[in-house]
Structure 1
Amino acid sequence: MKARNLVVAMLAALGASSASAALVNLNGLGYVTYGDGNSYSLAVANYFACGKEYGPGCPYNVKGSPGASETDPRIYIVQGAGGHIDNENANIDDAFDAANNELFFTMTSVNEPGSDGNKNATFTGDKTNTWDATLGALDQSFDFSKNLMTFFFVNNEPNSNDGLTQNLAVWARVTLTNLAGTTVYKTFDVTNDPRTSEQRDGDGIGDLPAPGYGPPPVGGGVPYGDVTLYTSESNAPEITDFAMSGGQVCVDKTTSTLVDCTTASAGSFDAINHNLGENQAPYAITIPELDDYIGGLMAANANLDDYVMRVDLRYGCVSPPFTINTQGNDSCAGYGTAVSQDNNFEQVFISTRLATQRVPEPGTLALLGSGLLGFAAARRSRKS
């Protein structure tokens, strides 16, 4: 009996240690699946937990910008204030410069960390056109034995044109390779379009219609989807691969269900904003199969220093060569397309969540579709 109690105490202590180390606990929350990624709305989760999108005392309150008050481990992939923030590890890229006053963001040699003479200009395993880090360095920061990596997206757009400029077209790919980049072990896409190349080649044989650009069911996001049903073909993204981020969702005050902000009766709903400025993260994105692969490497006692995680992130117009036909506009204009980056800058960073996961409770169904690139069609704004 004493031995059993000791085991229970040890497990409880381990759980407490994980809870203190992880930035956020996503267990039981609703999510929307985009290819290999599951997207969670921290803003909606806070609304149901504390009656507002964010603020002191809210359990899913995650600051978006680096600062002295932030003690949690976090590594920036894209950072706007100051640019090229030092991630303080020789085997992790510094942050890419955010696209400021531009319509789109891509990772190139121009905004590559080190292009401004800052440290971490290069390391063994570093390549241009992607943000890179060895798994060993990431493990030192996050302790994969206790926590799981989680990507946080800060949507920071103007609140104008009836909220349309809050929205942003986003696509991302995470690849695991050897140090030289010559061997690709795994590729994971966060994509609006889960179709295979055969299903989208237009030959009429096995073709499927393209998903729209917008919230489910218009867009390609699947509430509580199964990431194992999607396999990346490592092809370059097409227009339909870009999903919608940002803006507001509306919740009926009586039923606590999501409603269309444009058609619901005035006063019958609460609007939940996802465009919260540069200092608040409204979205958390997980890649479960990436977690599983890293867990397998650790179980096999593999040397994590021999593996590099590479992130290819693109958002906004992403032009050339892409344009997105929205509201009859065949080019990405800075205003009213619900696609491009408009004036401000986004931020993206990695931190941690609790490793223990469970099946979401039925009561969280109201949260469906409100994660990054989920039910985010903005039409109104509470911010000025």
Structure 2
Amino acid sequence: MQKRRLGRTDLHVSAICLGTMTWGQQNTEDEARRQMDLAVDRGVNFMDTAELYPIPPKPETQGRTETYIGKWMRARKNRDKVILATKVVGRTANSWFRGDRPSKLVRADIFDAIEKSLKRLGTDYVDLYQIHFPERVVPWGANPTRVGTAPGRRDEDETPIAETLAVFGELVKAGMIRHFGLSNESSWGVMRFIAESDNGVGPRLVSVQNAYNLVNRTYEVNLAETCERESVSLLAYSPLAQGYLTGKYDHGARPPGARSTLFNRGQRYETPGAPEALLAYNDLARSFGLEPAQFANAYVTSRWFVTSNIIGATSMPQLEMALSTVDIAWTDEMQKAVDGLHQRLGNPCP
């Protein structure tokens, strides 16, 4: 599998990253172990998790995904062969992360998070430590198509970015993390973190993990130029739009066992205009002789600005399919057809 450089670091990550957020909720520990074994066997060297996982977040399951990964690495004795990424939550009123209080991106909370993650993962360090979502008030995903109705609203106790970044500098110096990344972030956020590091505060940003798929190409509007010029890697999550780009939800279907059927958390992909757009892309995939999931994954992996495509699966056949998409040749004809639909349909699911 192709390896791509992570930011300006000396790390080269696989073009496909193994996402893990279903482990401990939809997937058992044994299923997680088999997924990791298969992915590594196919050339994947990059795994992404979070202190929040599994999804949906609940106090009784929080951290379980990291525990599964840690037990697998100890059993396989392969920590040095895995590029491991995890995340700290941003501002949240949920108190179960810190044990007795809401969480913010302040020193005490970040240290609490990394210490717990390292313990669950059974390792002394993580290769990439990411802020899962900003502390400041921004729309989820931080790349909306409209500004909203409350521009400029800020929390009075918003933690300054420089203060947060300085804590990550401490973690690097302590050897607890190697590199720093963001997630669900905007162009402004990316540049503010870079500006602070250029001023000598904390480590330089190496990656941003944002949603990117056929029905959400908002990354291209500003972030693609920002990140290309600043050598910040895109780690693209939700390439299948939470399963809506597999075709299984077409025409309002709700198959048993599917995520949106189980948890009713698919609102990001149930916006006005989304059903028509999703069906159009799924039908386009079929017109090229591909399953919609193959087409959607191949599209994301093929983009010049994507360093790694974070896939997720709840079954081994799904994982086999996702891994095999690295062998699909993305053609100019496919791109022209996709761009034609996008010109008409836009980004219905930012």
Larger Rg: 1
TM-score (norm 1): 0.27
TM-score (norm 2): 0.29
Higher strand residue share: 1
Hey, which of these two has a bigger chunk of helix by percent? 2
